[in-house]
Amino acid sequence: MLSELANPETSNWMQLERRIRTEWQRSGSPAMDLLLQRGIDAMEDQDWRLAVDHFTALTDHAPDFAEGWTNRATAFFQLGQHGPALEDIGRALALNPHHFDALAGLAVILEEIGMREDALEAWRMVSEVNPHRPETKAALDRLEREFGGQTL
């Protein structure tokens, strides 16, 4: 599915994204899946602290499950805690280097903290895995104009 998603000509990319995310959310343990769902529910309610708590329990019990780290990074980011978010993104990407949501989160944070050249490189990595998202294209256009399109 990832190779099909990486093809810029793929027309059903939104379906592929959903299928990939569904696959990534399967921990193999009903208890861990429940912790993930509780964290996702807390994020939907914008209860970021509670989400961090659920995802922390998940990462404690399933440290090799990238979705726990990715989602906790999102909750930390929403709390304005860029350091912990970046740390969790690093853990997620070590487990799943093709995680386009984690890569996009990395790019957003890097741009927000002023590391714009590094953000450009992160957006390029996102585009290699998933070239379809409009926000990725917009970020690449914006940052490549700023830095003259040079590869770092």
5: closest CA among 92, 126, 151? 126
Q: What is the pLDDT of residue 147?
A: 85
Whether residue 149 is predicted with pLDDT greater than 90 in this model: the reply is no
Whether residue 132 is predicted with pLDDT greater than 80 in this model: the reply is yes
Give the helix ranges, DSSP H, for 7-133. 13-24, 30-44, 48-61, 66-78, 82-95, 100-112, 116-129
Q: What is the pLDDT of residue 9?
A: 93
Q: What is the mean pLDDT of residues 59-83?
A: 98
In the chain, the N- to C-terminal Cα span, in Å, equals 29
Task: Report the C-alpha gap between 71 and 66 in whole angstroms.
Answer: 9
Q: What percent of the chain has pLDDT over 70?
A: 97
CA–chain centroid gap for 24, Å, is 12
pLDDT tens, position by position, 6-16: 999 999 999 99
Domain annotation for the chain: domains and CATH numbers: 2-147 (1.25.40.10)
pTM of the model: 0.90
pLDDT band per the 50, 70, 90 thresholds, residue 151: low
Q: What is the mean pLDDT of residues 88-107?
A: 97
The per-residue pLDDT of the chain, averaged, comes to: 95
Q: What is the mean pLDDT of residues 86-90?
A: 98
Q: Which two tokens stand for residue 144?
A: 């490549």
Whether residue 68 is predicted with pLDDT greater than 60 in this model: the reply is yes
Whether residue 122 is predicted with pLDDT greater than 80 in this model: the reply is yes
pLDDT tens, position by position, 15-50: 999 999 999 999 999 999 999 999 999 999 999 999
